[in-house]
Amino acid sequence: MPYTIPTDVRYEERFFGPFTIKQSLYLLIAAAIIGFVIFFLKPPFPLNFIIPLIVGGLAIGLAMFNLEKVLKDYFSFLMEKKEASWITPAARKLMDIKEIRANAVFLKDGKVLGVVKVKPINFGVLGNEDQDTVIYGFLEFLNTINFPIQIVMRSVNLDLSNYLAAMKRRIVQRDDKIALAYYEHFSGYMYDYIKTNKINDRLFYIIVSVKTQLDEREVIRSLETRCRTIIDTLTLSGIIAERLNTNQLLGLYSSYFTESFHVGEDFISPITMYNKMWREAPKTGKSPMSSLNLEGNK
């Protein structure tokens, strides 16, 4: 009868009874320390009891309860960065981004990324024919891709502010006071319901990568071709997708650390504002805040 041979079997040689070489070494060192303390140092009470107890407990923990790994993980956790804002070197190290331009993300390891945002569809409400269209279109998408991609899903707080603001504008234009009263009740209910039930929205992205070559224009052109291939093939399934431009990429990455700013109809990300403040200040001799002109920045 065939059976599966486990691949994660580990065996260590036994040195002293049931103990491995490492476990035996821990116990022998602890025994030597305890013997030295008791017979040579001869500390007064209660040290002659407390020191052997601590050393023995530590040795048992190392030998029997994998205390070594626990301590290693704990100190690694203490050494790691716990918090980072979008202007700290820790954030740049985490993202590993060299620069963002030409609708692409240039990483420090030489790769260039393009990001395609995919608008999700509710597959369950589609009819049988529409479901078949989506399935076969997605199969065509998978068969067309001959380069590596990464699919990223991100959960964010559901934000209906734009939808509710557009609804309120239409009501105000109609000068319908009854509808406006209903709107105020409805909007308050929706905000409370989303906050109470912690409803999230899911965002989907497809990451396309190209290795940096000598000709940067060829790299940008190849990245554009791959992103266009993904968008066109997803369209066959009825799935709407678009490639993020430079401003949208800045907003995407900076949103992991802080909210984005909107100035009129233009978008300005915190990273863009920070760069403009601290790059122009040394040239003009003015303070960083006075060197920032919000008008027309992107």
- Cβ contact 15:24 at 8 Å: yes
Mean pLDDT of the chain: 78
Last residue of a domain, one of 172, 198, 224: 198
**pLDDT tens, 179-205?**
888 888 888 888 888 888 877 778 899
Last residue of a domain, one of 142, 170, 198: 198
Is the pLDDT assigned to residue 34 strictly greater than 90?
no
Q: Quote the distance between the C-alpha of residue 128 and its chain's center.
A: 36
Q: What is the pLDDT of residue 103?
A: 92
Q: Examine residue 110 and state whether it is found in any structural domain, yes or no.
A: yes
211 and 278, same domain (yes or no): no
User: DSSP character for 217?
Assistant: H
Q: What is the pLDDT of residue 87?
A: 57
> E strands along 27-164, which residues?
97-101, 104-107, 111-118, 149-157
Task: Give 227: exposed, middle or buried? Use CB within 10 Å, 0-12, 13-18, 19+.
Answer: buried
214 and 184, same domain (yes or no): no
For residue 250, what pLDDT band results from cuts at 50, 70 and 90? confident
Is the pLDDT assigned to residue 143 strictly greater than 50?
yes
190 and 132, same domain (yes or no): no
CA distance 38 to 54: 13
147 and 271, same domain (yes or no): no
Structure tokens at 281: 């200040």
Q: Examine residue 7 and state whether it is found in any structural domain, yes or no.
A: no
Q: What is the pLDDT of residue 275?
A: 54
34 and 71, same domain (yes or no): yes
Q: Examine residue 253 and state whether it is found in any structural domain, yes or no.
A: yes
Q: What is the pLDDT of residue 205?
A: 94
142 and 212, same domain (yes or no): yes
Q: Examine residue 3 and state whether it is found in any structural domain, yes or no.
A: no
Q: What is the pLDDT of residue 76?
A: 82
Is the pLDDT assigned to residue 293 strictly greater than 80?
no
290 and 226, same domain (yes or no): no
18 and 69, same domain (yes or no): yes
Structure tokens at 16: 């002293």
Q: Examine residue 2 and state whether it is found in any structural domain, yes or no.
A: no
CA distance 101 to 80: 30
CA distance 153 to 188: 29
Q: Examine residue 237 and state whether it is found in any structural domain, yes or no.
A: yes
Q: Could you write out the DSSP letters of every residue in 199-244? A: -EEEEEEEEEEEE--S-HHHHHHHHHHHHHHHHHHHHTTT--EEE-
What average pLDDT does the segment 39-67 reach?
84
For residue 229, what pLDDT band results from cuts at 50, 70 and 90? very high
270 and 295, same domain (yes or no): yes
Q: Examine residue 5 and state whether it is found in any structural domain, yes or no.
A: no
**pLDDT tens, 154-182?**
887 777 888 888 888 888 898 888 888 88
113 and 225, same domain (yes or no): yes
pTM assigned to the model = 0.55
Amino acid at the residue 201 = D
109 and 147, same domain (yes or no): yes
Expressed as residue numbers, the domain containing 138 is 104-156+204-242
Q: Out of 84-98, 100-114, 163-177, 276-290, which region has the weakest mean confidence (pLDDT)?
A: 276-290
Q: Examine residue 127 and state whether it is found in any structural domain, yes or no.
A: yes
For the chain, the domain total comes to 4
Is the pLDDT assigned to residue 13 strictly greater than 90?
no
62 and 116, same domain (yes or no): no
